[in-house]
Amino acid sequence: MITENIQIHQSPKDMNFLFGMLKFEAPNVNGFDMPPEELAEALDFWVKEEITHQVNGSWENEKTQIFFVEERMTELVARASMKVHIHLMDVAEDLPDDEQARSKAYWGRVFTFPWVEAIELHDGKMTMEQAKEMRESFHVPPRFEFGSWDKELEAN
């Protein structure tokens, strides 16, 4: 089955943190269909095969880039990261004085949002204006506007 690619607007550094969050926090979350070790292994394989060659520079690059990800994988990563993020929010709520728990919940939202946004925009459940407002409220760097990415590439 061929599916179309969906654009993910995220920096390599944030994307790398998201993948790390999935690998290290998933063992604490109920509801995954595979053991955490298999999830981590599958994620590493997929990132190596489909994402790494798209990274402009290094994984430490903090500039937003456009990644093209197969629709089905975008959905899977968005769902998995939302599961982990909700778990992190629950932990932060249970431990209101724990700064680390609150920080993990905050960063989970920042790293997860571009993936959820991509699916919601693709499915017509979110408008570009809503996405822009949510990115601003979550302190997530803005999406590239149509035609702006080529100017950014020319500048580099």
Report pLDDT for 151: 43
- Does 75 fall in a domain? yes
pLDDT digits (tens, 9 = 90+) for 135-149: 899 888 887 765 444
pTM: 0.83
- Spatial CA neighbour of 14 closest among 120, 135, 95: 135
In a domain, 63, yes or no: yes
With CA atoms as reference, report the closest residue to 133 among 150, 120, 146.
Answer: 120
Range of the domain at 90: 5-144
pLDDT tens digits, residue range 17-61?
A: 999 999 888 888 887 778 878 888 999 999 999 999 999 889 999
Size of the chain, expressed as the number of residues it contains: 156
Q: Is residue 151 part of a domain?
A: no
Domain count, the chain: 1
Cα→Cα distances 110→21, 56, 74, 104, Å: 12, 21, 16, 10
- By the 10 Å C-beta count (0-12 exposed, 13-18 middle, 19+ buried), 146 is classed as exposed
